[in-house]
Structure formats: C-alpha cells, structure tokens
A and B are shown apart, each in its own frame.
Chain A
C-alpha cells in the first residue's frame, strides 16, 4: 500500500542514529524532505501535463455536471412541479441536498481555522484542499435554496433593497438569517483561502516557464516577495481571519438548523439542533475531505506530506464527532419519550418503524453511529481501505440523516388524512447527481491549476525551518540550490 516507511519505522530509524527519545514526535513530513523537494513535488502537480486518469475522470464528472445543469434549467423553465414535492412534503431532496452540501463545507473551515488556533501543525498538509472543498461544497449548496424558491428571477427579494414598493424582508425570519449566514460564510472562506494562496501563487510565478503563466500567476500573487515586513502583517491577518472564521463556521450550521428548530413541527422543534447540526457537519465534512484526499494522495504520490499520521488524526476526529452525533440521536429519542407529547413520541417511533424505517437503520444507525466506531482501533485508522469504507458510509449516512429529518418530519402530518409519501422524480435525482459532478469537476480543476497543498505552511513544519535549528552532526540541511537528500 504505502511505499514509504510508516511513522513507527521512522521513529525507530531516528532512534538508531540519534539519542534515544521514547516520546519523540513523529515528523509531519516523512523521509527528511527539504524545502526544495516540497516545492518541486507540490508545484509539479500543477506544472506537469495532466495525467491520463485526470482527463478520464474529468470527462465523466463534467458530463454529469452538465446534465445536472440541464436539470436545473429544465426545472427553472418548467416550474417546481418537476420535483416530487407534494402536500405535506413541501421540502425534500432540495433542502436535504442544501444541508448536506453546506455541512460538508464545515470541515474545511474547521481544519483551516480552528486547528490553526489550536496550533495543530498537521493541518498544513490538508488545509488548502479542504478549504477549496469548502468553497465548492458551498457553491453546490447555494444552488438549492436559490432554485427551490420557484421563481428564481424574484430571488432579489431576499436582499434588503430599497425599492418602489417599500417592501422589506422580514429580518426576524430564519430564512433571511440563512441568506446572510451562507453568503458571509462563502465570502469569508474565499478571502481566507486566497490569503493563504498568495505566497504559493508567488512560488508558481517564480517557477513559471511561459509568459502567460508568469503574467497570470504574477497578477494573482499581488507582487508577493516573502518580505518579513510583509509576513508580519500577513500572519496577523491570517490569525484574525482564523479567529473570525471559527465562530462563523459554528454559526452557519446553527443558523441552518434554526430553519427547522424555530418551526413547531415534531422532530424539528428542538433546542438540541444547533450543536447537533454543527457536529454532524464536521463529521460529514471530514469524511468528504478524506474521500477526496486519499485518491489525490495516491495519484500524485504525496505520501511523504499526507502521512499515515494525518489520516490517523482525521479518523480520530471522525470518531469524536460521530460519537457526538450518535449521542444527539439518542438524546432526541430520550427527549421525545420524556416530553410525554404524543405527536413527538409518534414521530420518533415512526422514524424507526415507519415507512422510511430502512433510512434510519442503514443511514443513521449503521453508517453514522456504528461504522465510525471502527476508528477505536489503530489498525483501522492506519488502513486506507478501511478508512475509505467508513468515509463512504458517513457520506451516504449524512445525506440519509438530513432526508430523515426533513421528509421524516413532514410526511406524517398531524392529521392522518393528509399523510403522504415522497417519491423523487428524475429531475430530483439528476439535479443531486449533477451537483456531485459539479463538486468533483471543480475539485479536479483546482488540483490542476492551483497548488493543492499549502507549500509555505508545510515548510514551517520542517525542523530546519526553525531559526534556532542546529543540524545534528552527520548531516547538514541542504542549502539553497542543493540536491535532494537520498
């Protein structure tokens, strides 16, 4: 599986040559790679010609994306009736997909902002692509509330614009909060991502061979020259953006959950929703980060930068947040029972034994609660195939969870005479599959055109990056222009 030595072997190898250190930290970049190796390997992904698999994958995903866009066009031009919505199920796949995608974005911000504030240096290998994933997920998410209003050309009513009618949005409505939360989240994520990109764009500019590349990377790198007087303000801006993004990311899914929690529907009207949604978002997002990262790591041979240690840590976060989610599921049942409210009790009984029973047993119980428990075992966290299996379970499980919350809450109305099932149409299905295509296509374009690993940040984690580093006797850090160490 991995051609590179495992972290444990690294420790053993180091201990053999240097002083015995029983609690030595495993290096974040393996095989004693130096600055120039990192630059070559990471820029090489962008600079070398696209591999054949990239073209094959991109052709497939772009075709799927195009079909998704066709479905959106068809739905906008024909009307909302092309979806399988009915009374009482007025929200179904559209809002399920919205919550699913916006949740996925949260892992990117968690890695880039919260782990930064917590001084988790291992984040540097994965933060760039996780942030890119955030942006693409939010783009996919924004499609659904945009088109589910039906008359898309009236979407400007959401904005507080002074107009001739003198009509204003209701600022006390969670749906308006949602507009502000999601658009702020997207904008701040773009700013944070771009700020991080500036030094790496300068690297690509300095390495560019063609005039057009030099011009484009030159413009987007803003004339960056690695000056310490610039780094001083840059690091302060980066720290503050991380500090701002941290409460922001917690607020976004909280506000999304308010869309449900402020209603009076059984299973929606619940104070546990904000933390429960945020934990679920980070849980599902980390699974998607690994879903994208493991193939990219294998294809571009990034095993020295994204090491087993990184995967291990991400698996632990999935285990932690998955257990939060399982606890929240259990608490929902307890609250329903303890409330003594017959509608609430029925709704949860219906969740487990009603017509959508298998969504609960497979999606929520098996995929979300049970499968991450494998990560208690080190062997499972270190085996990429097991990790990938669990991530796929979580990806599917989190979609099912949102479907159960939304349609499960709606399809059994207060009066049995209005009970109805939801059946998706081909437009429902292909719009969702289309967003999967849009998401993967954007990610594939990203890894081809921008450095997928934050070079300037990974370099800080190397031992020789330290201003007080003294090379141990026997080998010297390779100086500028030096050759790669064996």
Chain B
C-alpha cells in the first residue's frame, strides 16, 4: 500500500492520553480481529497481554534448555578431567563418581550462567532486537513513548487493514493525532 506521494505505508498510529485509554483501545482492536498490531508504552502495562490477546511468553522454555545445557557442560567438564584425564588424589579421597557432592557447586553455577545467557539473548532475539531503525521512529511524536506517551499502531500488512477501517477504529477508541506511518 502506498500513499499518493508514493511512500510505502507501514501502518496507522494513534496516541492515547493514558494507560487506561490505551488498554480499552487495545481490547477494541483485538475484538475487531486485527492480528498485526502493537501498543507502545513507557513501561509494561499490567494486563495488556490479555487485552491484546497475547499468550504467555515461551521464553522460559529457552531458559530451561539453557539451564540443562549448563548442567551437562559442568558435569562433563568436571568428571572428564577429574575421573578420567587427570585423576588427582587429594587428602586420600576417591576420584570416582561417588565424589559428586564436591562437583555440585560448579554444576549449580554453570546452570545459572547458561540459563542467564539464554534468558538475555532469547529476549533480544524473540523481540527482533537489536535493530538500527524501525518505521515507527519516522513519526515525530513517537519519541515520547519512552517518556509519558501511549501509542497504538496497526500495520498495513494486516489482512484486515484498510485505511478507512483502521482510522474509524482508532477514532472511535479515543485515539488522538491519528496518522499514517511511512515505511521509509
């Protein structure tokens, strides 16, 4: 979709005066059946996931995988050298598998370490970050999103998107400064 001036359209955006207004608008957009849309706020708004019809993040599954790989890494790293490559007898203690309690601290630490890396990088990757630019930044008002403003954006890629329907929906839900966002 293009504007008369020839710009590719990213979507249509509106500003809302408060978190409560944005919350109500999000429920309307969800009920209208839109799929490719998003709300932007300076802080996470409690309950917004349900209002948008989003399910629980499955980032926790990635973190579990990270934790298991950390535990296995530690187990291999400790048992390999201590029991096979370089069995070191200290204080006359055995070097077999029964000495596993002495290996727990490092197993624990690496489980935490790998899980934390998984949580951090999965968060970035699942959010499509880092990215250098985004069409929404073309809108001058949007710079207040990290301060005190609340926005709702419906993307043009949404199969239900038409300029008239999107504008009507945003207007009816109390949106202000409704505008078309250009792709470039």
Contacts and interface: CB of A to CB of B under 8 A. Distances in A.
Given A34-B148, A172-B93, A480-B148, A233 B59 contact: yes
A207, A222, A233, A255: which has the most chain B beta carbons within 10 Å? A233
A192, A237, A247, A479: which has the most chain B beta carbons within 10 Å? A237
A228 B22 CA distance: 11
A160 interface: yes
B109 A181 contact: yes
B178 interface: no
A480 B123 CA distance: 29
Given A176-B106, A191-B117, A199-B146, A236 B15 contact: no
Nearest to B86: A168
A223 B117 contact: no
Contacts of B42: 35, 39, 199, 203, 226, 455-456, 459
Interface in A214-253: 218-219, 222-237, 240-241, 244-245, 247-248, 251
A116 B98 CA distance: 38
A199, A236, A466: which has the most chain B beta carbons within 10 Å? A236
A39 B113 contact: no
A464 interface: yes
A11 interface: no
Nearest to A40: B147
- Please tell me the size bucket of the interface on B: 35 or more
Interface residues of A, number: 74
Contacts of A470: 20
Given A35-B148, A36-B147, A456-B42, A188 B112 contact: yes
Given A172-B102, A173-B90, A224-B129, A240 B115 contact: yes
Interface string A433-473: 00000000000000000000001110110001111111000
Nearest to B108: A251
A479 B132 contact: no
A104 B23 CA distance: 42
Nearest to B64: A240
A192 B15 contact: no
A222 to B, nearest CB: 4
A70 B148 CA distance: 47
A464 to B, nearest CB: 6
Nearest to B67: A244
Contact of A467 (B20, B113, B145): B20
A319 interface: no
A425 interface: no
A186 B132 CA distance: 28
A456 B147 contact: no
B171 interface: no
Given A241-B119, A470-B20, A203 B147 contact: yes
B169 interface: no
A91 B155 CA distance: 65
A431 to B, nearest CB: 28
B97 to A, nearest CB: 13
B23 A233 contact: no
A167 B86 contact: yes
Contacts of B20: 464, 466-470
Nearest to B117: A191
Interface in B114-137: 115-117, 119-120, 122-124, 126-127, 129-134, 136-137
B164 interface: no
A180 interface: yes
Contacts of B131: 222-223
Contacts of A227: 38-40, 127
A187 interface: yes
6 smallest CB-CB distances across A and B, nearest first, come from A35-B148, A222-B130, A237-B123, A168-B81, A467-B23, A172-B102
30 contacts: A166-B86, A168-B81, A171-B81, A171-B103, A172-B102, A177-B105, A181-B109, A188-B116, A199-B146, A203-B146, A207-B147, A219-B130, A223-B130, A225-B40, A225-B134, A227-B39, A228-B38, A228-B44, A229-B38, A230-B127, A233-B123, A234-B44, A237-B123, A240-B63, A244-B112, A251-B112, A465-B19, A466-B20, A468-B47, A469-B20
